[in-house]
Chains A and B, each alone.
Chain A
Amino acid sequence: MTVTELVSYEDALASYDPVMGLEVHVELGTKTKMFCGCSTELGAEPNSQTCPTCLGMPGSLPVVNAVAVESAVKIGLALHCEIAEWCRFARKNYFYPDMPKNFQTSQYDEPIAFNGYLDVQLEDGEVFRVEIERAHMEEDTGKSTHVGGATGRIHGASHSLLDYNRAGIPLIEIVTKPIEGAGARAPEVAKAYVAELRELIRALGVSEARMEMGQMRCDVNLSLRPDGTEKFGTRSETKNVNSLRSVERAARYEIQRHAAVLSSGGTIVQETRHFHEEDGSTTSGRVKEEAEDYRYFPEPDLVPVAPTREWVEELRATLPELPRLRRNRLREEWGVSEHDMQSILNAGAVDLIVATIEAGAPADQARKWWMGELARSANESGKALDELPITPAQVARVTALVKEGSLNDKLARQVIEGVLAGEGDPDAVVDKRGLKVVSDEGALGAAVDEAIAANAAIADKIRGGKVAAAGALVGAVMKTTRGQADAARVKELILQKLGVTEG
């Protein structure tokens, strides 16, 4: 393996202009496969979800999954695409054992959706339009396990084992037009595009699009051309980049690598490359000297798909608010900055906060809990926020208890902790743990008197006008009440008893 001496990112961008093409595969969340009724449930034992159709047995016939077509049209519409009035499936022939049929049923020159765009928002709020070439329907391949090699990789393996449960699961492949004009922000645009596409897919309810589970996978095609020139350079295709961060890193690495090769007088070979999570590098895969000949031809076993205009319009009417527009609306409603909204999105908290507000919590409180205590807890347990054992309604109940004065902030945190520990609803945790703000004025007054008596010097300072010193006495009272007092009320009582007014 040759080690490429990279040039710095800044130097690369000083002389070259990157052009990208992104291909994203999304596994649809249908119950059954694209062309047969086999289940798509994850985690089943090997080869337990196959049938004569997805195994390519002679005499079997495929039939298209109606929900998959509907999902494809919805995705196309959400990407502002035109929807084909008539389109066919095609056989993509290739010799590789991951498809038992020896071909993948895909679409060739008649994609179901084409000519669209997706506006993506960068972290500083700039909106960049990514043009969509096409979105087409196809099917996933089986899972290969390579045996006998040192690293489980295909090279050096003695043989391979195939599980065809995944073969035939509906896929939508979404291909961008060449992305030009992003300059130094190309890696950021790539990441923002994949992130926005993921949000869109989820908002449409057509897939969970979990990249870590392979439900959404991205190929990053990248080339450089000298600044000021029009003609595209030779591209590399980095395959299966499977996290948002990796998409950005892969694009960045390839920019630096291409620049290094080009500036030393070398030429870029058109090839597929593998991305390595550990160090963010890519290595050479398969060299593509000429376009592969997949001998595409129309699938004779399937009839054309011809979405009627009425149906397309019906589906258009059901589209949800686009995620970016929704986020901007929520950002204004919640009164937060672009940056904070980005953090909320990255944390996967948008829908949870919305649900908490719908359950009656004030926006700032809902945001505070999900982005504070709960984000921390999720982080510690290595879970996604929506996997925490607490519901938006429960969080809303905690904020209600704070608002009515029966919990203070510190106690509320303990209630949240109790709910997360499986001790029941917020009210049950309050009862079990005995967490209630001491609102008995008599008991509170006694605790305040005690604190004043025990801290005579501080009390004198406060009497002398140093109101800030009251904090120490509040602390003492909170300690004797084991945190179960309303700190603001305690401060009021202290100042009142010492004859001082704040101001």
Chain B
Amino acid sequence: MPGITREEVAHLARLARLELSGEELEHFAGQLDDIIGAVARVSEVADQDVPPTSHPLPLTNVMRADEVRPSLTPEQALSGAPAQEQQRFKVPQILGED
């Protein structure tokens, strides 16, 4: 199985808008590799007779009351946006001309 490369971590970091140092890229590449290896081992033992788990806790019906909580201000909400216009998140062209 191919390992997770430094470049892949850099790509994920960019998608997640995380700024990572070269040292961190190396560090996380190793960690992610271990995690994926562990998941691969789980899928080796998982069989038809083992129902997939989506949550480790045996909980159901965790709900909240329908009560309004304070939101962020528009300034706070937009503070991490790479671009904004008219108090909205600005995104690049979605569809090309056609």
Contacts and interface: CB of A to CB of B under 8 A. Distances in A.
Interface string A56-75: 00100001111111000000
Nearest to B62: A303
Given A39-B71, A45-B74, A156 B97 contact: yes
Interface in A9-65: 30-32, 36-39, 45-52, 55, 58, 63-65
A66 B64 contact: yes
Given A45-B74, A157-B93, A160-B94, A306 B61 contact: yes
B68 A39 contact: yes
Contacts of B70: 37
Interface stretch (A161-169, A249-257, A317-325, A389-397): A161-169
B77 interface: yes
Nearest to B78: A47
Interface stretch (B1-9, B20-28, B33-41, B83-91): B83-91
B16 A63 contact: no
Given A66-B64, A156-B97, A51 B89 contact: no
B47 interface: no
Given A63-B62, A161-B85, A306-B61, A155 B71 contact: no
A163 B94 contact: no
A231 interface: no
A158 B63 CA distance: 42
Contact of A88 (B16, B54, B68, B89): B54
A161 B89 contact: yes
B15 to A, nearest CB: 9
A46 B91 contact: no
Given A159-B92, A161-B90, A303-B57, A48 B74 contact: yes
A298 B9 CA distance: 25
B62 A306 contact: no
Nearest to A30: B66
Contacts of B63: 63-66, 69
Contact of A298 (B54, B61, B86): B54
B69 A46 contact: no
Contacts of A211: none
Contacts of B71: 38-39, 48-51
A265 to B, nearest CB: 27
A158 B93 contact: yes
B66 A66 contact: yes
Interface size class of B (residues with CB under 8 A): 35 or more
Contacts of A304: 55, 60-61
B73 interface: yes
Contacts of A178: none
Contact of B88 (A68, A161, A306): A161
Secondary structure of the B contact surface, majority rule:
loop
A97 interface: yes
B94 A38 contact: no
A499 interface: no
Contacts of B78: 47
Given A31-B66, A39-B68, A51-B69, A96 B94 contact: yes
Interface string A84-95: 001010000000
B92 to A, nearest CB: 6
Contacts of B92: 159
Contacts, number: 131
B30 to A, nearest CB: 21
Contacts of B57: 303
B55 A47 contact: no
A300 B59 CA distance: 12
A414 B59 CA distance: 64
A283 to B, nearest CB: 14
Given A63-B62, A300-B55, A305-B61, A46 B87 contact: yes
Contacts of A158: 93
A86 B58 CA distance: 12
Contacts of A299: 54
A159 B93 contact: yes
A83 to B, nearest CB: 13
A32 B68 contact: yes
B67 interface: yes
B90 to A, nearest CB: 6
Nearest to B91: A97
B95 interface: yes
Contact of B64 (A39, A63, A161): A63
Given A67-B65, A161-B86, 12 more contacts: A38-B71, A47-B89, A55-B72, A66-B63, A68-B66, A155-B98, A160-B94, A161-B85, A161-B89, A163-B87, A305-B61, A306-B61
28 contacts: A31-B67, A32-B69, A37-B68, A39-B71, A45-B74, A45-B87, A46-B74, A47-B87, A47-B89, A48-B71, A51-B71, A64-B64, A69-B63, A86-B60, A100-B89, A144-B94, A157-B95, A159-B90, A159-B91, A159-B92, A159-B93, A161-B90, A162-B91, A164-B89, A298-B54, A302-B55, A302-B62, A306-B60
Interface of A: 30-32, 36-39, 45-52, 55, 58, 63-69, 86, 88, 96-97, 100, 144-147, 154-164, 297-300, 302-307
Interface of B: 16, 52, 54-55, 57, 59-74, 77-78, 85-95, 97-98
Instruction: Pick the 8 closest A-B CB pairs, nearest first.
Output: A37-B69, A298-B54, A161-B88, A66-B63, A67-B66, A306-B60, A162-B89, A47-B74
